[in-house]
Structure 1
Amino acid sequence: MKKQALRALAVLAALASGSAMAQKAGDWVVGAGWMHLAPQDSSQPLALTSPVATVVPGSGARVSNSDTLGLTAMYFIDSHWAVEGVLGVPPKFKLYGTGSLESVGEIGEARQWSPTVLGKYYFNDGDAKFRPYVGLGATYVWYSDVNLTPSLQGAMGKLLHAPAGATVTTAKLDGTFAPVANVGMAWQFDPHWGLSASVSYIPMKTTAKLTTTTVAGFPVATSQTKLTLNPIVPYVAVTYKF
């Protein structure tokens, strides 16, 4: 009888443990970890749009990789479907000249804001410790702290045949909506704590618009270039389930 009672207690303990591990309707999971953004970038040549429309032959730009802290919050609709919000510390990207602008080196930098909403489907049963998942969603991307380097300021002045230090160029990057595809895996190693690893792909473009004025603020020229970014975004996080 004692052996049977001990076996029954062991079974109940195992069932209780499995239930505690389960991801079910109403659960919240938050996460924080390392996010890496690796643009698969290309660009069109820099084009002057005024006072005379012309293209700077062979000019281009590339965008650096960036690392940041990623933050997530996810709500389980049932044991398989979940909705996740992703918002991290805005990463800083550096832009470098290519082609005929390669000698300029670094041409500027900007911070990227890209809050994301994903619908996710988790495979395996809700009480499984290891669960692969796929996700699909959207993000709105915009930029702040856009700064151009002195080397680009000098290059723009030469391009416009202006005396050294006589012009100032500022830049703006257009915001855009973009789809997000996501695939990953989650490991729940106790009732609350877990690990998650995923990779996202974001097909996106932006237009960089440059305005050049005299030091006194009188307009001299405008120019622009289109950048294709298409970043691949690995993300590894520690998670906590409520």
Structure 2
Amino acid sequence: MKRLLIASIVAMTLTGGVACAQDAFQTPKAGTIKLDVRLTGIVPDESGSIRTAAGAATGLNVKVNDSFVPTIGLEYYVNPSLSLELIAGSGNHKVKAVGGATNVEVLELWHVPPTLTAKYHFAPDARVSPYVGAGLTYIWFASEDGKNGFNVDLKDDFGYALQVGADIATSGPWSVNLDLKHIAFETDANINFGALKSKVTLDPWVASVGIGYKF
């Protein structure tokens, strides 16, 4: 799936570049609103050791799988170079406890991570317009389904987001969007009502490719 996402990004970039070679395109102005619909890969860079309530090591660590989901971004241009974007979607992950001969699923979860970033566009009038951004995210664990007799409770909290990407204008108000975020996020896991615990660093990479439309 990771290779499929990367291949899709490359293919859409090349296709967009060829298709838009001769077409007029719309540039953003103050007050422009852009909607992006994306395919997003959420790839956690997780770490977290599982300990007893007294703090003793169990030899087990947390492992979280990747997730591929649709997301949307709603962007408002303060001026052609500066915009604010709200990203919404949800992710589904399976969480395992691993170590030694142990590899057991303990949790399946859904999370909702609304993210607000401020973005600076280096070349807003160009067909290929790269940008950088930074902002905040709030990760809400909407569903936590314990597996194999485990009960796991994760703490909702804020995180920080860094962002790079590019808008590739195609024709009129349409564009292709490529976006990469890195989100710094840490949560406390309470396992089996406090018998076990873990401070889990998730720090996911969030890679997206999608289609945008300016209003």
RMSD over aligned Cα, in angstroms? 1.7
Q: Which runs of 5+ in 2 are unaligned?
A: 1-22
Whether contact under 8 Å (1:184, 1:196) holds in the other structure is: yes
Letter in 1 for 2:26: M
Aligned to 1:160: none
Give SS of 1:236's match.
strand
Aligned to 1:95: 95
- Return the alpha-carbon distance in structure 1 between the equivalents of residues 116 and 128 of structure 2: 23
TM-score by length of 1: 0.75
Whether contact under 8 Å (1:21, 1:128) holds in the other structure is: no
Whether contact under 8 Å (1:142, 1:173) holds in the other structure is: no
Aligned to 1:113: 112
Aligned to 2:47: 42
Whether contact under 8 Å (2:169, 2:175) holds in the other structure is: yes
In 2 relative to 1, CA 54–196 (structure 1 residues): closer, same or farther, beyond 3 Å?
closer
- Return the alpha-carbon distance in structure 2 between the equivalents of residues 188 and 27 of structure 1: 15
TM-score by length of 2: 0.84
- Return the alpha-carbon distance in structure 2 between the equivalents of residues 134 and 105 of structure 1: 39
Give SS of 1:41's match.
coil
Q: After superposition, what is the alpha-carbon deviation per residue over 1:79-136, rounded to whole angstroms, capped at 9, x for unaligned?
A: 1000100001x11110112114x53422211111110101001111x33211000001
Structure with greater strand share of residues: 2
Structure 1 segments, 4+ long, off by >4 Å, are none
Whether contact under 8 Å (2:153, 2:190) holds in the other structure is: yes
Structure-to-structure mapping, 1:100-179, within 5 angstroms: 100=100, 102-124=101-123, 126-150=124-148, 153=149, 169-179=150-160
Give SS of 1:190's match.
coil
Structure with greater helix share of residues: 1
Give SS of 1:77's match.
strand
- Return the alpha-carbon distance in structure 2 between the equivalents of residues 23 and 236 of structure 1: 20
Aligned to 1:4: none
Q: Which of 197, 200, 212 is the aligned partner of 1:224? A: 197
- Return the alpha-carbon distance in structure 1 between the equivalents of residues 186 and 26 of structure 2: 41
Q: Which runs of 5+ in 1 are unaligned?
A: 1-16, 154-168, 213-220
- Return the alpha-carbon distance in structure 2 between the equivalents of residues 30 and 21 of structure 1: 14
Matched, 1:191 2:189: no
Displacement of 1:25: 0.4
Displacement of 1:78: 0.7
